Amino acid sequence: MGYNLTQKIIKDHLVKGEMITGTEIGIRIDQTLTQDSTGTMAYLQLEAMEIDKVRTKKSVAYIDHNMLQQGYENADDHKYIQTVTHKHGVYFSRPGNGICHQVHLERFGVPGETLLGSDSHTPTGGGIGMLAIGAGGLDVAVAMGGGTYYITMPKVVNVKLTGKLKPFVTAKDIILEVLRIMSVKGGVSKVIEYTGEGVKTLSVPERATITNMGAELGATTSVFQSDNVTYEFLKAQDREIVWKELLPDNDAVYDETIEIDLNELEPLVAMPHSPDNVEKVANLKDLKVNQVCIGSCTNSSYLDMMKVAKILKGNTVHPDVSLVIAPGSKQVLNMLAQNGALADMIGAGARILESGCGPCIGMGQAPATDAVTLRTFNRNFKGRCGTVSAGAYLLSPETAAVSAIQGVLTDPTTCNTDIQVIIPDKFLINDNMIVAPAKDGDKVEVIKGPNIKPFPLNEELKDNVNGKVLIKVEDNITTDHIMPSNAKLLPFRSNIPHLANFCLTPCDEQFPARAKENNGGMIVGGDNYGQGSSREHAALVPLYLGIKAVLTKSFARIHKANLINSGILPLTFSNKDDYDNISVNDELVMDNTIEQVKKDKIIVHNKTKNVDYVMDVDLSDKELNMIIAGGKINFIKNMN
Ligand code: MIC
Ligand code: SF4
């Protein structure tokens, strides 16, 4: 029996366990990446673990999220990350150099290697044939120290692509189609592997658009083969030396197969407020548009930007539309500036933003009240754009650009501009915004401004865990709900006490006050609780507020790991109907907790309603020990 790509890479990196689906395995991590909004925490944790020098093949710290210096806070974070990385052997990508995933693909990604990143869109690296996984900052810090990364051996889904995309139908439409088919929880515990003849027709940036937004499926990661197309991309980046061929075996076996005929695909759009709420653009045409944003780690490559420039050239952005464009990296922006495409964008009235995440994470460009905003991004959760009443639609750069001119959502296949762009033979290579780590790290002083506060640590698990239900939320609650991020909050990513005042406020304004009044308690959630961002703040802030357990129908992968790392019990209802029978303010009691959790099940007694719930404790032995120790840092300390 042959291996698929996922199995091949895992096999090469397997340190613990066996490749048996559903069991825990440990893999060696070759590369790590962090970005600034999760990075401060990751490096504080690296320091707390007393790791002198990173032990990976390459670790890179990017500054791309927190780019509005409204006050000293962001600048403090940047200074801290720059100095701490310089000291500990990490490459530092300066603000302005671009979005982590775009730059990593261009300048660092290596086919067949593993990449762990403190950002949920790390799977972008799957476009170049990496096994690239998003995780909480603490897991990335451990990997930087040479520690093994543990995951559940995933199922592997074969998405077989046949045929070829029609003009103006794009890679974004492929991933939107996969989201339509699988939904935002369809990828949990799975790796999505793309195969079939259609793969050869897709360039590396197109493949990366698809693997990037695989995060929205809840998948562990997504991966493409490394072939001739990969070679050509790496050669144009002057990095063909790192290329190696990586193909699935002819008799590779998959757990599921989905077939998509690229010839049949049409331009698609994800409607508010979920990336899987997919509809054909043609069915929504003439929707009046107020704002169009082009960029983000999903769609900001040179290829995307050139197509947009060709569409905009000689046209004018509709008077009722604000069009903003953020090219993904300095390389892309510089090339557009040199070849005149930037002038075509500016000439049409586009507002050019710096190369960073910007509006994707609500760092500026919040749309007007009730606005319709078209975005080439990957998430359209309610309020993420900065305006709760606005509706965000996710689509391709081509659809976005054509619609920006028309002022209404427009099917781009009706356009007859020639937008053919091929990957250049040589990209513009200038790594002058990447700072290599210090040769003599000991001499580097780490600078921590007043915005950098210590992170909270949990206590050992108690034998009796009691508390009130402080909130009950529905299915698919995102980490954007649990720990909102926007221009006002992002500067406080290293200040947990401040962030705690905003925890779960999009669901219930009173939650932080109630949690404080009651000295903590429990959270009750539905299915896929904690989907979305990798931010461990969505666990650290509940920890700070005294949350002891989260009871749900099911969890999203990264958030569950972050809860365990923080020593908060993640429990799932054995009988999902029990969810209906639990209310806010109910008093819950767990007796003999330690004894019970070891048995994979725990009885939670609802004192108010006088009923018992059987909760599943789905933890590996290692995770169980972390929970008992009061989180990963305590667990590591106890081992030493
Ligand atoms: C996101 O897209 O939600 C973010 C902001 O990039 C997050 C990371 C963070 O919250 O800092 C992610 O995707 O992990
Ligand atoms: Fe940045 Fe948006 Fe990508 Fe997150 S999804 S890394 S905020 S561009």
Task: Identify which of 217, 394, 535 to mutate to test ligand 1's pocket (most ligand atoms within 8 A of the CB).
Answer: 535
Task: Quote the ligand 1 centre to 120 CA distance (angstroms).
Answer: 6
Spatial distance between the Cα atoms of 284 and 281, rounded to a whole number of angstroms: 5
Rounded CA gap, 216 and 276, in Å? 8
Mutate to test the pocket of ligand 2, among 357, 385, 537 (most ligand atoms within 8 A of CB): 357
Per the domain annotation, does 200 fall within a domain?
A: yes
360 lines ligand 2 (CB under 6 A): yes
- Is any atom of ligand 2 closer than 6 Å to the C-beta of 217? no
- Atom of ligand 1 minimally distant from the CA of 535: 10
The atom number, within ligand 2, closest to the CA of 35 reads 6
Same domain, 63 and 129: yes
CB 281 within 8 A of CB 268: yes
Cβ atoms of 543 and 515 closer than 8 Å: no
CATH of the domain at 116: 3.30.499.10
Which ligand gives the minimal distance to the CA of 117? 1
Ligand 2 atom at shortest distance from the alpha carbon of 533: 4
Q: 214 and 343, same structural domain?
A: no
- Ligand 1 site, residue 120, Cβ cutoff 6 A: yes
User: How many structural domains compose the chain?
Assistant: 3
Distance 357 CA to ligand 2 centre (A): 5
**Are 306 and 213 in the same domain?**
no
Ligand 1 touching residue 119 (CB < 6 A)? yes
Q: Is 627 in the pocket of ligand 2 (CB under 6 A)?
A: no
pLDDT, tens only, 395-408: 999 999 999 999 99
Pick the last residue of a domain from 235, 264, 293: 264
DSSP sequence for 437-503: PPSSGGGPPPP--TT--PPP---PPPSSEEEEEEEE--TT-BHHHHS--STTTGGGTT-HHHHGGGT
Q: Which residues of the chain have pLDDT under 50?
A: none
d(CA 109, CA 103): 9
* pTM more than 0.75: yes
Would you say the CB of residue 121 lies under 6 angstroms from ligand 1?
A: yes
**Could you identify the atom of ligand 1 that is nearest to the CA of residue 558?**
14
Instruction: Write out the E strands in 584-634.
Output: 587-590, 601-606, 611-616
Indicate the SS3 state at residue 303.
Answer: helix
Identify which ligand lies nearest to the alpha carbon of 38.
1
Distance between Cα 499 and ligand 2 center (Å): 20
Q: Where a domain ends, among 264, 298, 325?
A: 264
* The pLDDT value given to residue 451: 86
Domain encompassing residue 617: 465-639
Atom 12 of ligand 1: nearest residue by CA position: 533
What pLDDT was estimated at residue 1? Answer: 81
**Does residue 384 line the site of ligand 2, with CB under 6 A?**
no
pLDDT of 394: 98
Do 322 and 260 share a domain, yes or no?
no
Could you tell me if residue 419 is inside a domain?
no
- State if residue 485 touches ligand 1 by the CB under 6 angstroms criterion: yes
Is 421 a domain residue? no
Query: 66 CB under 6 A from ligand 1?
Result: no
Give the ligand at the shortest distance from the Cα of 499: 1
How many other C-beta atoms lie within 10 A of the C-beta of residue 599?
A: 9
- Using an 8 Å Cβ cutoff, are 444 and 86 in contact? yes
- State the Cα–Cα distance between residues 56 and 30, nearest whole angstrom: 5
User: Nearest ligand, CA of residue 36?
Assistant: 1
Q: Is the CB of 494 under 6 A from ligand 2?
A: no
pLDDT, position 422 = 86
- Tokens 């825990």 — which residue? 24
Is 460 contained in some domain?
A: no
- Confirm whether 580 is domain-assigned: yes
Q: Are residues 563 and 524 in the same domain?
A: yes
Cβ of 226 closer than 6 Å to ligand 1, yes or no, is no
Pair 246, 373 in one domain: no
**Same-domain check for residues 493 and 586:** yes
Q: Take residue 196 and report the two structure tokens written for it.
A: 């079939």
User: Is the CB–ligand 1 distance for residue 38 below 6 Å?
Assistant: yes
**Residues 402 and 280 grouped into a single domain:** yes
296 in contact with ligand 2, CB cutoff 6 A: yes
The response to whether residue 298 sits with its C-beta less than 6 Å from ligand 1 reads no
146 shares its domain with 288: no
Q: What is the structure's pLDDT at 301?
A: 98
Task: Tell whether 440 is covered by a domain.
Answer: no
Nearest CA to ligand 2 atom 3: 297
Q: 251 and 235 in one domain?
A: yes
136 in any annotated domain: yes
What's the CATH number where 503 sits? 3.20.19.10
pLDDT digits (tens, 9 = 90+) for 71-109: 999 999 999 999 999 999 999 999 999 999 999 999 999
Same domain, 599 and 503: yes
Task: Confirm whether 424 is domain-assigned.
Answer: no
**Which atom of ligand 1 lies at the shortest distance from residue 35's CA?**
11
- Asked which of 230, 264, 298 is the last residue of a domain, the reply is 264
Do residues 475 and 584 both lie within one domain?
yes
